[in-house]
Copies of this chain bind each other. A is one copy, B any other.
């Protein structure tokens, strides 16, 4: 951390400040006195230093972090890729492409089982489906809730596909554990629901953490850090589009986030082209781009009858469309693997 002090800050004040930093945060402070201004360099673990606290000192001109404020999620301290392995053997982050597919909302047993079987046949390795649904309107369908988890369990029993589904409240954690949810998803709107993150840090299940609508890459990593700081290292990061001024798509897929997250962190990174665009025909080109940019997996909405979907129909693929996308991305992934071989 580099702290630039305002011009003419009295020597005495500088000393008092550096002493307090040394004591409170256990860091070493190097002082560089220039003719016009003084610069302090803090060495050691500065993650616990609140940058706002420093900036609030009236003799401080500006502060700059050199070290990232996250540790457990940081590749610097964990150079090897994290591979998340489910008890049933499936892996995320191991060089293969995790294909997570299924409907936005679980609706009926027939629906979820049919979709599960179809996407499995096309190469999907995980089943997604919403039981608890975050909806902008209180008057929209809120999901089948507990019943939805039941139906997902049935689809899993039939197909063997592990289940990825979203949690919206701490109170539901026991239910998610009982019902054998394999990967718990934290949605974009809850990325900074810190109490939920803390609670998920105490369980032993992989968490798929979606980037918030307008959260930075660093904030996403800080939210992963919340979960990891609690003791749960199994975090999967998900880029799902950010909010910008462009209105053609629902969100703007930040494709750069994929290589950046992989450079800054050792955690696996998946991409959700369905929510990023909100438009079914864009799913294929965005999925292809995600794979080419190095994503470890894709989450794709598939519905057996998009026009009858109770939510997000406009962005869902039919099983036939998914089959084509899966075929293309898997072949592309193969071609890319050879490229680096």
Contact = CB atoms under 8 A, between A and B. Distances in A.
Interface of A: 2, 4, 28, 30, 32, 34-37, 39, 41, 43, 47-48, 50, 52-53, 55-58, 61-62, 64, 66, 69-70, 134-141, 168-171, 189-190, 192-196, 198, 212-219, 222, 225-226, 229-230, 242-249, 252-260, 263, 276-277, 281-282, 285-286, 288-294, 306-307, 309-314, 316, 328, 331-332, 335-336, 339
12 contacts: A53-B309, A69-B136, A138-B198, A169-B195, A189-B193, A242-B244, A243-B245, A252-B256, A256-B277, A256-B286, A258-B285, A288-B292
Contact of A168 (B64, B137, B195): B195
A140 B53 CA distance: 11
A143 to B, nearest CB: 11
A39 B41 contact: yes
A138 B225 contact: yes
A193 B226 CA distance: 18
A192 B187 CA distance: 11
Contacts of A336: 288, 332, 335
A286 B293 CA distance: 6
A304 to B, nearest CB: 13
A226 B57 contact: no
Given A34-B30, A216-B247, A282-B259, A56 B306 contact: yes
A145 B315 CA distance: 42
B285 A259 contact: yes
Nearest to A169: B195
A333 to B, nearest CB: 10
Given A43-B34, A213-B214, A332-B292, A307 B58 contact: yes
Contacts of A248: 216-218, 256, 260
B64 A2 contact: yes
B246 A242 contact: yes
Contacts of A190: 193
A120 to B, nearest CB: 22
Contact of A313 (B56, B140, B310): B56
A33 B47 CA distance: 22
Contact of A285 (B169, B193, B217, B294): B294
A72 B219 CA distance: 34
B258 A255 contact: no
A71 B210 CA distance: 31
